[in-house]
Each structure stands twice: as structure tokens, then as C-alpha cells.
Amino acid sequence: MSISRFNAVEKASNRKAVEAITPKQKVSEYYGENVFNRKAMQKYLSKETYKALTHAIDNGTPIDREIANHVAAGMRMWALEKGVTHYTHWFQPLTDGTAEKHDAFVEHDGNGGMIEEFSGKLLAQQEPDASSFPNGGLRNTFEARGYSAWDPSSPAFIVDDTLCIPTVFIAYTGEALDYKTPLIRSVEALNKAAKEVCNYFNEDVHKVITYLGWEQEYFLVDEELYSARPDLSLTERTLLGHESAKNQQLDDHYFGAIPSRVQEFMKDLEVECYKLGIPVKTRHNEVAPNQFELAPIYEECNLANDHNQLLMSVMKRVSRRHNFRVLLHEKPFMGVNGSGKHCNWSMGTDTGINLFSPGKDREDNLRFITFVVNTLMAVYKYNALLKASIASATNAHRLGANEAPPAIISSFLGTQISEVLDKFENSSIEDAIEVDDKKRLSLGFGQIPELLLDNTDRNRTSPFAFTGNRFEFRAPGSSVNCGSAMLAVNSAVAHQLQQFKKDVETLQAAGKSKEVAIFETLKAYIKESKPIRFDGNGYCDEWKEEAARRGLDCENSVPLQYDAYLKPEVIRMFKETGVLNEKELEARNEVKWEIYIKKVQIEARVLGDLSMNHIIPVVLHYQSLLLSNITKLKETFSPEEYEDLSAEPRRLVRKISKHVNAVTRMTDEMIEARKKANVITDLRSKAIAYHDTVVPFLDDIREHIDELELMVDNQMWPLPKYRELLFIR
């Protein structure tokens, strides 16, 4: 009966490592060979075009059609030499993942033949007929189509036979239909606001750059086992499966050697990444069995995010070559760790200063404190928004569900920085700020050590932790577009820095000196933002109560978490930073609620199918074997002996019936709950109904099936078990 499970287990167990194809050259020699980077630009563009393009990239200025024509011609020549035949505008719609529609380079030559053609017009702008991407009502079909427009700040690249051009995706009326557009706007808003605050301390700064270094966690499963699990194939999550006797208790995977099949996969993946200019640096096993991580060297935020989007699709492709499927879901397996995508975030100046680095001089230290305190203020004021920015149906299993850390945003600073802030709060201006003869401001007391102790022993449970020279936002899930979280952080901090400047100016207008104004403002912020600082164990239950007392957002329901986007202060913040207007925010929330509904709906359907068509029939078959065993016992033995010998099988039959009845009844009830929810037209209410009335069935039904897994003959169980999914590699 369960042929496919044992077939799959056998095939997966006998699999040999597929050797990676690694170039003979050093990485430095082939790094970026599939990217139209500055080296390629220099070779394929005229001097003037190169200069105009790099100027536009560095300064975010528009590119005129003539330059675009020249760039397109150079790009096409470069790509054709590499055997490329097609091109695509590559964009990031509001579903997670990327979208592309390939067009061949060919055009009619007017003489009945074809020529290779690629004009500046095609490079700069396209109208993909992408009307089926979610847009929250921003594009009525009759009114306006969406179009994609070239983002020159992220270089074009080649995948297989296709030239991919990173683009934004917007409606004709200008509203963003993607993640990239508001991310770019947020980076620009932060640049402006941070530069002005920087200039209090250092007038040479003309630009502030936002950096992102993501860490991508993932699971690998053999593709035979994956195919034998409809839940993995359709939802990327096991909707049922009893825990394996052994999972991550011994921590032996985390410190263990990388399994050879996986090692070859990683090598292949790294080569692909290097060719695409993705600067991957670290790879290692993660805590859960068959869980791994990959992290690059950090880059400018928009580019880093493109690279992460690209990486996820490369991972999917390369894993198939090694007969694996990569799971990017946040919680593919119950009872073991889920996967996140930590976003290491920092700001740096065009003069080479990391604004979150304490620095060598005391004047650096005051600037450092200013940026840390303003970030804390932003995280404090917008903690509900930051949570909404990472909330999803899938990430909810990793945050805020059972066996998961609570869905509450707080910030860890470590003892040394905390002490400095406490000291600042309790100091007088004379102690806290020094002004030298050149009127430069610096921190009055002591040094902040450059190497922070907590950097080596940091609090792994904090969702927004200071880690030495950056903040690490740990709440984003492994499957997401980091843009969602990053644009929220960038905008919130940009707005806070604008506010800081206003507050300082208000005090100055009242006759206070610059240093007094800065001092008093920072002091007030340190006091006000205290509730967001938490260095304790963020996973314990007491923290939930404490956080609620502190007034932090503790909402657990994902559809309600999204409400944070539409609070008046958040709408104002996004408007004043120019990142998203109210119409865009409303539309994006519609999309979020819709995606939530669909994800839950698919899971509920798959579980219903698995229960009724895969599990229950097998269980009933096993039960009838038990019953015939009981009948035979009765025929064979005396009534007294029969009573005794059949006690266990009879008890088992009863137990099985109890679970079978529960599963059948609840599957029917779940279908009813869906029916009721489906007639609701308002998407928010519908998402709430799915959360409140459908999701609970997923856990409840599973519980009974997982019990049954322990009762039914192993030979008959149809789906690969956890021990097989987690330990065969």
C-alpha cells in the first residue's frame, strides 16, 4: 500500500553525492562574470556613456533615452557574446519571489528576416502583461496596466540564456506594485535624514548609505521524499508527522561536519553565486537536522536584497541538480527549529564611517550614541509596524505560535552600551558633552571600547539586537523578501531622525546652544524609549506579561498585526518620508490579507485530502486487520482465554476509532468553517475568520493523526516519517 514511501526511502538512502562543477580558476578570476558590472561596462560602453551611467548610478539621477540606447547596445553585445538569446525585466511583485517574462532579442528586419535587437526603450521600460499579480485594487484592468522600469543601481545579470534586468514594478498612476520601489524610496529618505544629523558632527558627509547583510537559513530534503509528501510539495510544510525520537536534542548537527551530498550542493551554489556577483562568505549546518545557512558579505541595501532574491531562485535550481529540494518555509517541521533570515542592518557615510561603530575618537562616540538612540526610538515607536513587516501565515509558526518565541519586538543592547546610555541619562551636560576649540562635539565621559564584549556572547533571543557595529533584525522569515522589513526599518529611522532634527531646532530656537539642544533631546529619548530595551530571555513566558505591561505590541493574530500599517501615525510616517502613500498602504494590506487567506486555504485543503484520502483509509485497513485477529482469537480460544488475549487488540481498535472519528468530524467542520469564511467579501474580515476558525483545525486534526502514526503498522504508513525526512541526506 505505502509503496511510494519505501521506494522513496530506498532511493534517497542509496543516493551518492553529485560532484560539483567547479571552475579551475580562482574565485577572483570568475567573480561577477555573468554580471554587467563596471568592468563589463567599461569594456562595452563608450567613455561618455560609461561616465553618464556611473554618474547616474552613484547619484540616483535619471538616465536620458539616448544614454539608455547606448547602454542597451553595449549590454546586448556583451550578452550575445555570452550566448544569450533572451532578455527579461526582472521584478519583485508583492507575492514573495521574483517575476520574469522572457522575450527573444529578435525583431523583423523589414526584409522578411530577423535581426538581434534591443533598444534603450526596451531596456528602460516595459509593460509586462502582469495583470494577475496581486495589486490590492490599484490596477483596475480597464484603467491602467502596470509597467516595469529599469533600476540602473542594480546591475543586469545573466541566468542561463537570459539577460535579466532588475526593474521596479509600478502602476501608470505611479503607485508601487512591488517591494523594490518603496525600498529604494526608503533608502533615499534615510540618506537625506541621516546625512543632516551626521552634519551636526561632521560637515564632510554628503551621503549616507544603508547596508544589509542577510543570513539565509534553509532545509534540504531528498527529492524522492519530498515528492512522496503532498504537503511538502504543495505547502513546503509538513502538515502532519509525529516527532522523530531523535531530533536536535544532542546539538550534533550544528557542530557536525557538512554531509557530503550537501557539501557538493553548497560548492555548486557558491560557484553560481560568485558568477552572479553575490559575495557569499559563510556556510554551515544549522541547529535542526538537515538545516543549513548561507551568508554573504554585506552590501548596499537594495543590491543586497536583489542578491537575496536571486539567491533563492538559484538555490531552487541548483538543489535539483543534487536531487534535493530546498525548503525556504519558516517552519517546515514541527518540534525542531524554524528558519529565519536575519537582516544585519547598518548605515555608513560616503567618508567611510560606520554610524553604528563606537569609533576611536570621542567625537565619534557622541555621533554613535545619537544614531543608536534614534534607532531605539524608531523601533520603540514603530514596534507594531516592524512586527507587521515580517508577519505572514508561514512566519507565524516561527513567531508567536506554540513552541515558538513570542511575537513581540524588543531590542538588546548589551551591558556596555546599556551602561553608557544609563550614564548619559543621569549626567549633566558638562559631564556628557565636550566641545573643543573647533566647536566639535564629543562624548564627555570615557571611551566606548571598540570591541564590545557582548558582541561575542550576544543574546540570540532578541528580535532586534545590537551586535557590535550593526543591528540584527532577526524576526524576518526565511522565505520573505527582506525589502518588506528593511523598508519599514529605514522609513521609521528616517522619520525619527527628521524628528530629532526638529526637536533640536525647537530647543535652539528657544535660545539653547546646539550641544545643550542635542544633549536634552537625547536624554529625553533615552528615557522615553526605555520600554523597548530588553536584555533578558525573549523566549520565556514572563516576558510576554512584562512586555504587555510596558505597552509593547503583543498581538498574535497575523491579520490583526497588519492593522499596524494603517494606524494614523504610521500613515503619516510613510507619507512624510515619501516612501508610501495611504492608497499604496491600503492596497498593500489588501494583498497581505489575501495572501494570508490563500495560504491557509491551501493548507486546509491539503490536510483535508491527506486525512481523508491518504491516512484514514490506511488506518481503517489496519483496524480491520486487528478486528479479524480478534475474530480469529475468538474462534480459536476458550471464552476465558479469549477475553484475556484479545484485551489489547480490542483496546487498540477502540483507540483507533476514537481518533478516526475525531479526524473525520473535524475535517468536516473545517470544510464548514471555510465555507462560512469564503462568503465574506471584506478581505480583512475574511482573513480574521480564516485565522480564528480555520487555523485551529490544522493543529487539532494533526494531533490525532500524529497519535495514529504511533499505532498503525509502520509498513502500512503511507507518508515518509520525520526520521526519514530529517536524517536521510
> What residues make contact with Mg ion under the rule CB under 5 A?
342
- The CB-of-367 to Mg ion minimum distance in angstroms stands at 25
Nearest Cα to Cα of residue 348 among 483, 185, 206, 500 = 206
Nearer to Mg ion, 215 or 224 (CB): 215
298 near ligand ADP (CB under 6 A): yes
Residue 342 pairs with which residues in a beta bridge? 215
341 near ligand ADP (CB under 6 A): no
Spatial CB neighbours of 112, under 8 Å, sequence gap ≥ 6 = none
CB 304 within 8 A of CB 214: yes
114 by DSSP, 3-state: which?
strand
Label residue 97 left, alpha or beta by phi (over 0 means left) and psi (-120 to 50 means alpha): left
CB 303 within 8 A of CB 154: yes
Determine which residue in the list 36, 118, 211, 371 makes contact with ligand ADP, applying CB under 6 A. Answer: 211
Which range in 68-76, 210-218, 531-539, 658-666 contacts ligand ADP by CB under 6 A?
A: 210-218
280 near ligand ADP (CB under 6 A): no
Determine which residue in the list 215, 222, 223, 535 makes contact with ligand ADP, applying CB under 6 A. Answer: 215
- The CB-of-378 to ligand ADP minimum distance in angstroms stands at 17
Spatial CB neighbours of 367, under 8 Å, sequence gap ≥ 6 = 198, 200, 201, 202, 355, 359
DSSP letter at 693 equals I
- The CB-of-472 to Mg ion minimum distance in angstroms stands at 5
Q: What is the distance between the alpha carbons of residues 211 and 355, in angstroms, rounded to a whole number?
A: 11
Q: What is the distance between the alpha carbons of residues 76 and 91, in angstroms, rounded to a whole number?
A: 20
469 near ligand ADP (CB under 6 A): yes
- The CB-of-159 to ligand ADP minimum distance in angstroms stands at 23
Label residue 468 left, alpha or beta by phi (over 0 means left) and psi (-120 to 50 means alpha): left
- The CB-of-590 to ligand ADP minimum distance in angstroms stands at 33
Nearer to Mg ion, 451 or 510 (CB): 451
- The CB-of-290 to ligand ADP minimum distance in angstroms stands at 19
Nearer to Mg ion, 185 or 342 (CB): 342
- The CB-of-514 to ligand ADP minimum distance in angstroms stands at 28
Determine which residue in the list 104, 297, 453, 647 makes contact with ligand ADP, applying CB under 6 A. Answer: 297
- The CB-of-544 to Mg ion minimum distance in angstroms stands at 24
Q: What is the distance between the alpha carbons of residues 412 and 472, in angstroms, rounded to a whole number?
A: 10
Task: Name which of ligand ADP, Mg ion, none residue 354 binds, using a CB cut-off of 5 to 8 Å depending on partner kind.
Answer: ligand ADP
- The CB-of-286 to ligand ADP minimum distance in angstroms stands at 10
296 near ligand ADP (CB under 6 A): yes
- The CB-of-507 to ligand ADP minimum distance in angstroms stands at 31
- The CB-of-293 to ligand ADP minimum distance in angstroms stands at 7
CB 197 within 8 A of CB 500: yes
Nearer to Mg ion, 342 or 367 (CB): 342
Nearer to ligand ADP, 151 or 286 (CB): 286
Determine which residue in the list 313, 354, 427, 557 makes contact with ligand ADP, applying CB under 6 A. Answer: 354
Q: What is the distance between the alpha carbons of residues 546 and 82, in angstroms, rounded to a whole number?
A: 60
Q: Which residue of this chain has its Cβ atom nearest to Mg ion in the complex?
A: 342
Nearer to ligand ADP, 99 or 295 (CB): 295
H/E stretch holding 253: helix 252-255
Which range in 245-253, 295-303, 539-547, 616-624 contacts ligand ADP by CB under 6 A?
A: 295-303
For ligand ADP, the binding residues in 610-649 under the rule CB under 6 A are none
* Cell numbers describing residue 212: 544589509
Nearest Cα to Cα of residue 725 among 394, 250, 291 = 291
Which range in 291-299, 359-367, 614-622, 649-657 contacts ligand ADP by CB under 6 A?
A: 291-299
291 near ligand ADP (CB under 6 A): no
Q: What is the distance between the alpha carbons of residues 474 and 485, in angstroms, rounded to a whole number?
A: 10
Nearer to Mg ion, 72 or 480 (CB): 480
Which range in 37-45, 150-158, 207-215, 449-457 contacts ligand ADP by CB under 6 A?
A: 207-215
* 81 CB burial (10 A radius; 0-12, 13-18, 19+): exposed
- The CB-of-357 to ligand ADP minimum distance in angstroms stands at 8
Q: What is the distance between the alpha carbons of residues 729 and 727, in angstroms, rounded to a whole number?
A: 6
Which range in 209-217, 307-315, 625-633, 636-644 contacts ligand ADP by CB under 6 A?
A: 209-217
Task: Name which of ligand ADP, Mg ion, none residue 139 binds, using a CB cut-off of 5 to 8 Å depending on partner kind.
Answer: none
Nearer to ligand ADP, 99 or 355 (CB): 355
CB 561 within 8 A of CB 388: yes
The HSE-up count of residue 283 (CA atoms within 13 Å, CB side) is: 16
Nearer to ligand ADP, 166 or 340 (CB): 340
Give the binding-site size for ligand ADP (rule: CB under 6 A): 13
226 near ligand ADP (CB under 6 A): no
Spatial CB neighbours of 122, under 8 Å, sequence gap ≥ 6 = 72, 87, 103
- The CB-of-371 to ligand ADP minimum distance in angstroms stands at 12
Task: Name which of Mg ion, ligand ADP, none residue 282 binds, using a CB cut-off of 5 to 8 Å depending on partner kind.
Answer: ligand ADP
Nearer to ligand ADP, 167 or 365 (CB): 365
Task: Name which of Mg ion, ligand ADP, none residue 557 binds, using a CB cut-off of 5 to 8 Å depending on partner kind.
Answer: none
* Cell numbers describing residue 674: 471555510
Write b or e for each residue in 49-58: b if 16 or more Cβ atoms lie within 10 A of its Cβ, otherwise e: bbebbeebbe
Nearest Cα to Cα of residue 136 among 465, 495, 565 = 565
460 near ligand ADP (CB under 6 A): no
Nearest Cα to Cα of residue 202 among 330, 350, 46 = 350
Determine which residue in the list 229, 470, 599, 729 makes contact with ligand ADP, applying CB under 6 A. Answer: 470
Which range in 200-208, 260-268, 294-302, 584-592 contacts ligand ADP by CB under 6 A?
A: 294-302
Which range in 153-161, 244-252, 289-297, 434-442 contacts ligand ADP by CB under 6 A?
A: 289-297
Sequence-separated contacts (24+) of 21-26 with Cβ below 8 Å: 21/268, 21/271, 22/267, 22/268, 22/271, 23/271
Residue 165 pairs with which residues in a beta bridge? 89
Q: What is the distance between the alpha carbons of residues 110 and 574, in angstroms, rounded to a whole number?
A: 50
Residue 86 pairs with which residues in a beta bridge? 104, 162
Nearer to ligand ADP, 346 or 521 (CB): 346
Nearest Cα to Cα of residue 522 among 385, 365, 383, 416 = 365
Q: What is the distance between the alpha carbons of residues 406 and 550, in angstroms, rounded to a whole number?
A: 15
Site string for ligand ADP, 665-684 (x = CB under 6 A): --------------------
The DSSP line for 154-213 is S--EEETTEEEEEEEEEETTS-B-BSHHHHHHHHHHHHHHHHHHHTTT-TT---EEEEEE
346 near ligand ADP (CB under 6 A): yes
Length of the chain in terms of residues written: 729
DSSP letter at 214 equals E
Nearer to Mg ion, 214 or 574 (CB): 214
Task: Name which of Mg ion, ligand ADP, none residue 295 binds, using a CB cut-off of 5 to 8 Å depending on partner kind.
Answer: ligand ADP
Determine which residue in the list 282, 351, 426, 661 makes contact with ligand ADP, applying CB under 6 A. Answer: 282
Residue 218 pairs with which residues in a beta bridge? 292
344 near ligand ADP (CB under 6 A): yes
Q: Which residue of this chain has its Cβ atom nearest to ligand ADP in the complex?
A: 213
Measured over all CA atoms, what is the biggest interatomic distance in the chain, rounded to whole angstroms? 108
Q: What is the distance between the alpha carbons of residues 42 and 416, in angstroms, rounded to a whole number?
A: 47
Task: Name which of Mg ion, ligand ADP, none residue 136 binds, using a CB cut-off of 5 to 8 Å depending on partner kind.
Answer: none
* Cell numbers describing residue 351: 567618508
Site residues for ligand ADP per CB under 6 A: 211, 213, 215, 282, 295-298, 344, 346, 354, 469-470
